[in-house]
Amino acid sequence: MSVKKFTFILLCFLCLSFFTVGCSDSSNLPQSEEDNTPKSNSENSVVATIYTSDKNAENLVNKEVTLSEITANTIFEELKNVDIIVPDTKLNKFDKYEDADNQTVGIIDFSNEFYNFNLGSSYESIMLDSIAKTYIENFNLDKFKILVNGEEYQSGHILFDDDDYFTKDCFN
């Protein structure tokens, strides 16, 4: 066999080998337990969990949604899509920080339209729990607070003080 023919066959074999290795499916490879990156369906999407209530407004149920990215705004829009947040509500601000106790805290501030609902106390409680658990889980928070126009949340049924937070432990 000539050197040119041998080199050509070897080159074809190497190219084919590189192509098959580059196209192999790595989705079955084990993932590290320390990998906290959001679940992804493709290169440009992530899966987020949105919490809503069951039909009787007694329990939280989860729904996975595919988003381009997990941000305060994309989560906020999904909560509006599942009728947890009133459609006219605006997201004023979302802050995430670490407090003096090394706990990750999230504070969300909605516009006054957030109060434009006519709900009983149990559904209102489920609504607030849905928002809190959704943000706590998707942003890996230890504590979470809901404000309306920079003020503590208060309605005819529920009143939060400065020290009141939702915690990840309250949803076990």
Q: Are 148 and 169 in contact (CB under 8 A)?
A: no
pLDDT tens column, 5-51 = 544 454 444 444 434 334 434 333 333 333 334 444 556 899 999 99
- Confidence at residue 172, expressed as pLDDT on a 0 to 100 scale: 61
Token pair 């595919």: residue: 66
Comparing 169 with 65, which gets the higher pLDDT?
Answer: 65
pTM for the whole structure: 0.73
Sequence spans of domains, the chain: 38-171
The DSSP line for 86-127 is: -TT--EEEEEEEE-TTS-EEEEEEE-GGGG-----HHHHHHH
CA–CA dist 109, 147 (Å, integer): 4
pLDDT confidence tier of residue 122, bands split at 50, 70 and 90: confident
CA dist., res. 34 & res. 103, Å (int)? 18
User: Which residues, in sequence order, are CB contacts of 14 under 8 Å at separation 6+?
Assistant: none
What pLDDT is stored for residue 9 in this prediction? Answer: 53
- pLDDT tens, position by position, 59-117: 899 999 999 999 999 999 999 999 999 999 999 999 999 999 999 999 999 999 999 88
Higher pLDDT, 1 or 140: 140
- The first and second tokens of residue 41, run together, are 């369906």
